[in-house]
Amino acid sequence: MLYILGCAFVSAIAMAVIYEPGTDPSRVYYGTDTRASAILIGAALAVVWPSWRLSDNVSSSSRTMLDMTGVLGIVMLFILIAQTNEYDDSLYRGGFLYLSLITAVVIAVLVHPANRLERLLGCRPLSWIGKRSYSLYIWHYPIIILSSPVVNTDDASYMRMALQVTASFIMAGLSYKYIEEPIRRGTFWTGLQSLRRSGAGSQLGLVVIVIAIILVLASWKTDSPTPDPVPDAPAAVSRDPVQTEQLQCSCSDENHPAENTSHSAEGAEITAIGDSVILDAAPFLEKQPPGMIIDGKVGRQMSQAGDVLDGLREQGKLGHKIIIELGTNGVFNQSQLKSLLASLQDSQQIYLITTRVPRGWQNTVNDNLREIAGEFQNVQLIDWYSASENRDDLFYGDGVHLKPEGAQYYASLLIDAIKQDKTY
């Protein structure tokens, strides 16, 4: 048992060592070596706490202590779920181990024959869900993907969520009844033949059609009111906007150059750094205000911003005002952003821009930007996320890169914020 626990802790340590804050956590999240701790802790529990050896002949005080431990564990699990997300650094530096240990305690309580929590957690609705939990796990993701619009600048649709949950439960129930259980009993193929003979297959097909209709309804987007016209491009700008194609998984773009793209003029007062989104808006930004330096690179992360700014400083191209447009390609933690802004305290004004990207890190990025921006006197937040709400017309099909009118609108938002600044 100690050997199993030792391997579990080694796995947790490997996760903490391999994880790099501000980068894609997929390696540690999906790696067998870094996620084995949860399985191993469960294995250790099975060794030291076999339910068939436990007795319900315990004192009243022991029974109460057992129940209180279970309740406390469940409360702690809910707190962890509510206060963390997949981009929280603490999750990869002991958080998963902590979660596994608490879960093991709750399971230990529930399998003990003397516990009273089983009556509550073993009620029929929860029991039904528990038996079909694997089916729910399998079905919910493709249903959500198939029924969610790629470009969605609206607020969360609770109707769509309700339809997605309904479809997930229906499919989970069907697959449990007609696939999982027959396979367990070894009657899957004979069951298929019985369905054909009884005509129940047509009824099952009807249910599948209903599911398809639900998915169509869930993905249906109601017509938005006609948006306000996009402001005219500044007269000094005459170049065609940067063209973009479909966003790749790293938020890169084949039509954007892979190397840094820098639009510059000597003696510039304003420097803008960013990723492919700032490149989209570059044709509209580079001459308004005159001499703005724009340094954009496809796939750039916030973790690279410090080196980029240091390089511009050495070249004498770092203006007194700095625009930072990053977060499209991945999450960053608050300490990274604080450190970056602290290194720019001598700058007259810094502009942080919220992001809009159909990825899980969008809200975390924007929350970090909003919170940290308020802690620095020389930092102003430009809320692109709010400004682009309900404006699907501004984006290409990837939901990130900007059409010409979107790039123009984006640039006008930045220019207006700069001109309204008292330091301008």
- Check if 393 is active-site: no
d(CA 322, CA 292): 10
**CB hemisphere CA count around 128 (13 angstroms):** 8
Amino acid at 158: Y
Given 89, 147, 401, 412, which residue is catalytic? 401
Tokens of 52: 């068939």
Given 88, 154, 393, 398, which residue is catalytic? 398
CA 35 from centre of chain: 19
Specify whether the CB–CB gap between 45 and 9 falls below 8 A.
no
- Check if 421 is active-site: no
Listed in order, strand segments (DSSP E) in 231-300 are 261-263, 270-274, 293-296
DSSP helix, strand, coil percent of the chain (3-state; round to 5):
60, 5, 35
d(CA 151, CA 243): 18
* Helix (H) / strand (E) containing 324: strand 321-325
Given 276, 280, 388, 392, which residue is catalytic? 276
Specify whether the CB–CB gap between 331 and 359 falls below 8 A.
no
For helices 96-111 and 32-48, angle between their N-to-C axes, nearest 10 degrees: 30
- The strand pairing partners of 274, in sequence order, are 296, 325
- Check if 303 is active-site: no
Taking the CA atoms of residue 185, residue 187, residue 188 and residue 191 in that order, the dihedral angle to the nearest 10 degrees is -130
**Residues taking part in catalysis:** 276, 398, 401
